[in-house]
Chains A and B, each alone.
Chain A
Amino acid sequence: KAGVTQTPRYLIKTRGQQVTLSCSPISGHRSVSWYQQTPGQGLQFLFEYFSETQRNKGNFPGRFSGRQFSNSRSEMNVSTLELGDSALYLCASSLAPQGDGYTFGSGTRLTVV
């Protein structure tokens, strides 16, 4: 059974650009969550999607957005990149939002220069 797949693994972008990250959940999992991990702030919740609808959102500016497709795959987008957006972005999937198990992908390492 394939795990959570995140692409790309590494990205280097310039300030002011935008970026799109992709997450394919485990087959059958319908809930996808996104987290940002930085040395200073640790793991912070970005948002959660279920049935193509955003169900929960963390305290991030509107430059951070996401969506979920009918096959449960999810993308997150960051516009007008800032140096502080450099982080490991992790996606997690679960069977259902109230599910008691979350499987994480290996993450996308974004570096903003």
Chain B
Amino acid sequence: AQSVAQPEDQVNVAEGNPLTVKCTYSVSGNPYLFWYVQYPNRGLQFLLKYITGDNLVKGSYGFEAEFNKSQTSFHLKKPSALVSDSALYFCAVRRSTDSWGKLQFGAGTQVVVTP
């Protein structure tokens, strides 16, 4: 079975400072990894994904994430946070060998960016 851990319920950062949201995963075989963001009363918006290839993945809105196989981590980063980045962030994983695409989500991390 696969699982995802987001160890921080909330991350607080000042606008302009670097933002990091942590994610570790457990899956047998090779993972497909995803980050999604959710604004209040909205669905999930796709930020980026790791399927294969370069361990550093660049996504939407200036976000990037680094796949670290040895540490089974996929932390989300942004060099300079904006107030508008305040939202709920979810990391998700699925096995690359699965025939059907069930995503296992982490519990989510609330990001609060203060002016």
Enumerate chain A interface residues (CB-CB to B < 8 A).
4, 6, 31, 33, 35, 42-43, 45, 48, 50, 55-56, 58, 90, 92, 94, 97-107, 109
Could you say which of A33, A43, A101 contacts B49, with CB atoms under 8 Å apart? A101
Q: Mark B86-104, 1 if CB is under 8 A from A, else 0.
A: 0000100000001111111
Could you say which of A42, A45, A99 contacts B102, with CB atoms under 8 Å apart? A45
Given A42-B106, A55-B100, 20 new contacts (CB under 8 A): A33-B101, A33-B103, A42-B108, A43-B90, A45-B102, A45-B104, A48-B100, A48-B101, A58-B102, A90-B43, A97-B101, A99-B101, A101-B46, A102-B46, A102-B101, A102-B103, A105-B43, A107-B42, A107-B43, A109-B41
Q: Interface of chain A, helix or strand or loop or mixed?
A: strand
A100-B32, A109-B41 given as contacts; is B46 within 8 A of A56 (CB)?
Answer: no
For residue B34, CB closer than 8 A to chain A, the reply is yes
Q: How many residues of B contact A (CB 8 A)?
A: 23
* 8 Å CB interface, B41-56 against A: 41-46, 49, 51
A90-B43, A101-B46, A109-B41 given as contacts; is B105 within 8 A of A42 (CB)?
Answer: yes
* 8 Å CB interface, B17-61 against A: 32, 34, 36, 41-46, 49, 51
Closest to B44 in A: A104
User: Count of A-B contacts with CB under 8 A?
Assistant: 62
Looking at the assembled complex, report how far the CB atom of B95 sits from the nearest CB atom of chain A, in whole angstroms: 10
* A74 and B36 alpha carbons, distance in the complex (Å): 22
Chain B residues positioned under 8 Å from A43 (CB to CB): 90, 105, 108
Looking at the assembled complex, report how far the CB atom of B59 sits from the nearest CB atom of chain A, in whole angstroms: 12
Q: Would you list 15 pairs from A and B whose C-beta atoms are within 8 A, ordered by A residue?
A: A35-B103, A35-B105, A42-B106, A42-B107, A42-B108, A45-B103, A48-B100, A48-B101, A48-B102, A100-B49, A102-B34, A103-B46, A104-B36, A104-B46, A107-B42
